[in-house]
């Protein structure tokens, strides 16, 4: 297949640190343009808006939307109406309903829409899914804790409606769990800690259960300081305890390391996107996002001290 001419829309930290290197390392793409209000990239065409890029820029085949979720839907609709394939950073939108609109747009315009979940492409996630498929699961515990000042510096949008607060990283854990567990599950309780000057939670404690009454507990916290982030998932089974550490890059069984690999999540995303385009298909799974929406709807809100950057 021909090299895909790609544009990045929204050149912030995640685009700079993850998307751009993954694109450069994949021969199936050529980064052709960037649309960003606050940044530019050498050796490609730069524009302040997606509208300007589509009207004045070079020919492109696809766009990767790395903007905040609140503006992403309008940009995705514009790009697809112009015949461009679209990859959405997570979460795929600000609401579940708007994603259905995007799904219909992709079908109508005959383009690929990819709602990406980068943590599903962590090195050991597929191995964990296969190991769990033949075992009886008894309990799941999720620990997802990091320092918001390190991982989202100066990103005030994360505390506004649609920004999701601690669910922005927490949804990564949910994207893994929905991938590796053999059965769907649903929320039964959510306790949300919301700073007095914010609209979204800084920490959350969640309880779920699946169709066989297996308990699933998650602790998300944006206040982890002084230590590396904790991105772990533990699954108790009838044949031992499986643990995914470091966001899915390390797999342990009963504390013994069985597998580990490099951070290549975004490389996996872009390979998947190119394959979907080649096959003329879309992938718009919203199951992790649905769990977040349920938590925000069902959750008990507890006001905690104001957040100061």
Q: What's the distance, Cα to Cα, between the start and end of the chain in Å? A: 47
Pairing of strands 215-221, 137-145: parallel
Q: Indicate if 90 belongs to the active site.
A: yes
Residue 199 CA to residue 123 CA, distance in Å, equals 34
- The distance from CA 53 to its chain's CA centroid, rounded to whole angstroms, is 25
Choose the catalytic residue: 13, 84, 90, 145: 90
- In a 13 Å sphere around the CA of 157, the CA atoms on its Cβ side amount to 10
**In 10 A of CB 193, how many CB atoms?**
22
Residue 95 CA to residue 285 CA, distance in Å, equals 13
- The distance from CA 25 to its chain's CA centroid, rounded to whole angstroms, is 21
Query: Strand pairing partners for 195?
Result: 304
DSSP H helices in the chain = 13-14, 20-24, 50-56, 69-81, 96-109, 125-132, 148-151, 167-180, 265-279, 287-298
Backbone angles phi and psi of 145, in degrees to 5? -135, 130
140: which 2 tokens?
Answer: 């799941």
- In a 13 Å sphere around the CA of 140, the CA atoms on its Cβ side amount to 29
Backbone angles phi and psi of 21, in degrees to 5? -60, -40
Angle between helices 167-180 and 125-132 (to 10 degrees): 40
Which residues are designated catalytic?
Answer: 90
């Amino acid at each position: 297949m021909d090299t895909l001419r790609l544009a990045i829309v929204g050149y912030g930290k995640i685009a700079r640190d993850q998307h751009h290197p993954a694109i450069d390392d994949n021969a199936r793409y050529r980064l052709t343009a960037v649309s960003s209000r606050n940044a530019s990239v050498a050796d490609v065409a730069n524009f302040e808006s997606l509208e300007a890029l589509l009207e004045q820029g070079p020919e492109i085949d696809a766009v990767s939307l790395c903007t905040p979720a609140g503006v992403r839907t309008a940009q995705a609709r514009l790009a697809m109406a112009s015949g461009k394939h679209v990859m959405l950073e997570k979460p795929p939108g600000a609401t579940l309903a708007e994603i259905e609109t995007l799904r219909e747009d992709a079908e109508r315009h005959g383009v690929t829409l990819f709602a990406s979940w980068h943590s599903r492409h962590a090195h050991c996630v597929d191995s964990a899914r296969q190991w769990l498929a033949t075992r009886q699961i008894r309990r799941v515990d999720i620990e997802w804790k990091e320092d918001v000042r390190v991982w989202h510096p100066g990103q005030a949008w994360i505390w506004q409606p649609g920004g999701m607060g601690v669910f922005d990283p927490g949804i990564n854990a949910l994207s893994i769990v929905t991938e590796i567990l053999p059965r769907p599950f649903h929320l039964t309780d959510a306790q949300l800690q919301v700073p007095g000057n914010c609209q979204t939670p800084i920490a959350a404690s969640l309880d779920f259960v699946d169709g066989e009454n297996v308990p699933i507990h998650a602790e998300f916290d944006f206040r982890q300081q002084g230590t590396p982030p904790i991105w772990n998932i533990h699954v108790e089974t009838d044949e031992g305890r499986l643990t995914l550490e470091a966001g899915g890059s390390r797999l342990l069984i009963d504390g013994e390391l069985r597998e580990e690999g490099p951070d290549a999540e975004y490389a996996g995303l872009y390979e998947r996107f190119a394959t979907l385009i080649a096959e003329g298909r879309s992938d718009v799974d919203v199951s992790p996002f649905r769990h977040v929406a349920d938590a925000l709807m069902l959750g008990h809100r507890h006001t905690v001290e104001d957040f100061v950057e």
